[in-house]
Amino acid sequence: MAMRQTPLTCSGHTRPVVDLAFSGITPYGYFLISACKDGKPMLRQGDTGDWIGTFLGHKGAVWGATLNKEATKAATAAADFTAKVWDAVTGDEVLTLAHKHIVKSVNFTEDSTCLLTGGNDKVLRIYDLGKPEAEPLEIAGHTSAIKKALWCNNDQQILSAADDRTVRLWDKNTKEAVKTLAFDASVSSMEYIPDGEILVITYGRTIAFYNANSLDLIKAVDAPASIHSASLHPEKDFFVAGGDDFKLYKYDYTTKEEMESYKGHFGPIHCVRFSPDGELYASGSEDGTLRLWQTAVGKTYGLWKCVLPENLDGKYNTAI
């Protein structure tokens, strides 16, 4: 019996959702934070999409949001020239880090002690969260606005993607660019998979996979439309991508074949991420909604319920 995917729509945002991030798996499940142009990032329960709280305080569009592994801290990057660190349990603002321009990306280290920020001022900054008054470590080199900055290789190196169509690998200690990748089109998104050291980069209509240490190309796939974001399944079986044509595409990672495409959003998809257990993926769109999609359609998980074929036929009506 063929099952049709039922996406779960998480409403609440009033403007486009531009970034989303999952936490690691905690004893209380896993969590999802969404960054929105309405300036109010929201924290949600990862497996059900239930709203938990809204981080109030930013005075401009929030361009980037992230959670630490234990989902105890959250960080957001906004157009009001600040990056803020929040307590993800109480929702209180813990720290405000002033910048000289719009901040686009934030990322915690694995132990949540340092925060990496990058934005339109073209400089990467590393803040020590134990000493917030101290000056941050600055890494300059990009020639235009930084779109995404990530820690990689055990938090010893930094990957950054900018509007100058390059992706650079920096060493944290020497503050020098170890490697640079140049592209024909602006890089729209970047995802780092620590287990396997894979980097997922999207530009134009291409979704490319690179080795995060050597920045060697592993494989590249072309999609039917311009792609804004892609995410690789934790088990590296498949990846999902979404872009301008409002559809989500699911590809087999090994064969690079398109497996499925899903319609549902009413606007271009800005961000797509797999959950840490790989059971679902979330997509954020210009239409202001987040949608949760099942990886294994029909499986009982979260709010989705598996219905046995007998019950559908109506032959067996007796209750157990």
Please give the residue ranges that form the binding site for other proteins (CB under 8 A).
1-6, 8-12, 28, 42-44, 48-56, 72, 89-91, 292, 294, 297-298, 303-307, 312
- And the tokens for 125? 């900054």
Those residues whose C-beta lies under 8 Å from the C-beta of residue 240, and which sit 6 or more positions away, are 230, 231, 233, 248, 249, 250, 251, 272, 274, 281, 283, 293
**Given the complex with other proteins, which of 5 and 186 has the nearer CB atom?**
5
In SS3 terms, 195-233 reads as CCCEEEEEECCEEEEEECCCCCEEEEEECCCCEEEEEEC
Please return the burial class of 257, using the count of CB atoms within 10 Å of its CB with bins 0-12, 13-18 and 19+.
Answer: exposed
**Given the complex with other proteins, which of 26 and 226 has the nearer CB atom?**
26
Q: State the virtual CA torsion across 8, 11, 13, 18 in degrees, nearest 10.
A: 10
Q: How far is the CB of 128 from other proteins (least distance, A)?
A: 21
Q: How far is the CB of 260 from other proteins (least distance, A)?
A: 12
Q: How far is the CB of 16 from other proteins (least distance, A)?
A: 17
Q: How far is the CB of 24 from other proteins (least distance, A)?
A: 14
**Given the complex with other proteins, which of 49 and 284 has the nearer CB atom?**
49
Please return the burial class of 130, using the count of CB atoms within 10 Å of its CB with bins 0-12, 13-18 and 19+.
Answer: exposed
**Given the complex with other proteins, which of 56 and 185 has the nearer CB atom?**
56
**Given the complex with other proteins, which of 58 and 104 has the nearer CB atom?**
58
Q: How far is the CB of 53 from other proteins (least distance, A)?
A: 3
